[in-house]
Chain A
Amino acid sequence: ETGVTQSPTHLIKTRGQQVTLRCSSQSGHNTVSWYQQALGQGPQFIFQYYREEENGRGNFPPRFSGLQFPNYSSELNVNALELDDSALYLCASSPGGGGYTFGSGTRLTVV
């Protein structure tokens, strides 16, 4: 079982729309990261939050943004969706070392 819960599990959006994906981490996990995984590829790092502040970002445009809340939940927001944004979006949390716990992901399809 996993202590990280993501919602929704599946989502279909139209090109140009905006989407918000949600993640609920384990209590005490102050670090949360978001990843994008295209079909057949390894997960690609989007950004990371530590105690509600962004402290690391991958090679993704500004239309990918996030928030982390005091209750260990977080959000990934994507504006102006493009077809290439179709992927599995993964949230991972950590108490600060020793491995990350991943959620099962949100499958986003942009049409």
Chain B
Amino acid sequence: LAKTTQPISMDSYEGQEVNITCSHNNIATNDYITWYQQFPSQGPRFIIQGYKTKVTNEVASLFIPADRKSSTLSLPRVSLSDTAVYYCLVGDDRAAGNKLTFGGGTRVLVKP
């Protein structure tokens, strides 16, 4: 299973764009990149998933370079409610028996 490395914490201000980069040098051909958000005492919430290039949904964008050895989650115009821990996961969750492997995550603090 590919291991991920992401910053421990990041601070930002309301209205700014937050970019969190995750390194996954040994990503496998079948692996997808998935990001989850977690608030205290709640379960992680799926944000976005991608395989290559760029994926965008109503809450975030995911940028994946051609070599797929890293990815960047972009949160546009954050608000105080975006303060949470963000996890980058790499794996093929489409395959039976494949587990999600969480790292330590990135603690994002959005300040007023």
Please, how many residues of chain B have a CB less than 8 angstroms from a CB on the other chain? 22
| B43 & A92 in contact (Cβ 8 Å cutoff) | yes
When C-beta atoms are compared, the residue in chain B nearest to A31 turns out to be B96
How extensive is the interface on chain A, given as a class?
Answer: 20 to 34
Interface of B is mostly: loop
Complex interface bits, B19-36 against A, C-beta within 8 A gives 1, otherwise 0: 000000000000000101
Binding site for B on A (CB under 8 A): 2, 4, 31, 33, 35, 41-45, 48, 50, 55-56, 58, 88, 90-92, 94, 96-105, 107
Binding site for A on B (CB under 8 A): 34, 36, 41-46, 49, 87, 93-94, 96-105
With A31-B96, A42-B105 given, can you name 7 additional A-B contacts, CB distance below 8 Å? Answer: A42-B87, A42-B103, A45-B100, A50-B96, A92-B43, A98-B93, A105-B41
